[in-house]
A and B are shown apart, each in its own frame.
Chain A
Amino acid sequence: MSSRQAPLPSISVDNVAVIRGNRIVLRGLTVAARSGDIIWVRGANGCGKSTLLRLVAGLLYATAGSIQTEGRIALADENLALDANLTVEKALMFWADMDGASADARSAALADMDLQGLAQVPVRFLSTGQRKRASIARVLTSKADIWLLDEPYNGLDSASCARLDQAITAHVATGGIVLVAAHQPPSINLAHSLILDRPEADA
């Protein structure tokens, strides 16, 4: 039984269109996600996967349609959002303070992403895969209900992919929602797979 308080997290994207410049990025898109859902958002380059995640995150406005979310949202995209000169631990501590998260949550996130050995290393010295793991650790630390992960497997070795899958599984087991935009399918058993078609080139 979930320990979360009502209302449960949810995402409702209803008949959304997004036009950027003179290009239709999304058209007539409807997505519904409830507590416990994992949605794999897939499609060709430029089909609007990242745009969908940014819409749900509230960072973009839809040209038409409506988007409603319930619950706190965390986003891990190509932007690391960690101060390069800080150590991994201190960079995560900054966001933990912003989110009112405990030191335990930060330590658990470091452990979940196997970053304890890198905790005192400045973020700027991390490799691509390590940066990706640090970015996911930021999401874990946030204790958000909805995770939006944009290409989270890029640069990760197989052990790290397994750790991420484990974290995703644990998150949805406690009632969370995860949207994964990726070309490669996650190895976990997915509830839904959302395929975005490539839209027309011109508006």
Chain B
Amino acid sequence: MKAFAALVAREVRLAWTGGGLWLPVVFYLAVATLFPFVTGPDKALLARTGGGILWIAALLATLLPIERLILPDRQAGILDQLAMRGWSDELVATTKIIGQIFAFALPLLLATVVGSALIGLPEAQLGTLLLGLALALPALSGLSVTIAALTAGLSGASALGGLLLVPITIPLLIFGAGTLSENPGNAMQLLAATALAITALSPFAAGAALRAGRT
């Protein structure tokens, strides 16, 4: 358990020192800041569309850390050393996903409070938006680790990662946007179910990808 915690802590530390922690947050807030420049300062329009924009910004921010999640560890031999110590690839993937939840999902949730204020989202919607993102961000963390494992070492990995991630996140986006409607109940349940399934399956998918990439 101590070793597991040490690996998760290492992920958070790497995110912090490698810029992986603040970069998605800055990107996320930049989108929230830029959006009113495009639409104009129409409060009603911003209130109606702002939540959806933050959802899309969160999905796109997921792409930013992908290149640093697996490839550096594979190149440095860290993954080999863990495998030699009996760590299953699924368990290694789990530590990386949990690390992403701490280093990516939680900061993004905090940034949502700031981002919603920048967009002028009604306070009533902020709670729903936070709940929806809190459900979806662990799934997005799992997907980012899985896609990082799949594309590590491939040429054009970041572009390929984007092409893979965006279609997979469509259900999360649809149900997430649905939670912002006047009756969010059903959409929230579907979002929770989808996010839970993705979060639960991603360690296995990422583990298989790590194993396949070993040379």
Contact = CB atoms under 8 A, between A and B. Distances in A.
B83 A81 contact: no
Contact of A97 (B2, B78, B82, B214): B2
Given A79-B75, A85-B17, A98 B6 contact: yes
Given A94-B6, A94-B10, A80 B85 contact: no
DSSP class of B's interface residues: helix, strand, loop or mixed?
Answer: helix
Interface string A53-73: 000011110000000000001
A81 B81 contact: yes
B85 A81 contact: no
Given A83-B14, A85-B17, A97 B76 contact: no
B80 interface: yes
Contact of B77 (A58, A80, A98): A80
Contacts of B3: 97-98, 100
DSSP class of A's interface residues: helix, strand, loop or mixed?
Answer: loop
A84 B13 CA distance: 12
A75 interface: yes
A59 B84 CA distance: 7
Interface of A: 57-60, 73-75, 77-85, 94-95, 97-100
Interface of B: 2-3, 6-7, 10, 14, 17, 75-78, 80-85, 214
17 contacts: A58-B83, A59-B83, A59-B214, A75-B81, A77-B77, A78-B77, A79-B77, A79-B80, A81-B76, A81-B77, A83-B78, A85-B17, A97-B3, A97-B6, A98-B3, A98-B85, A99-B85
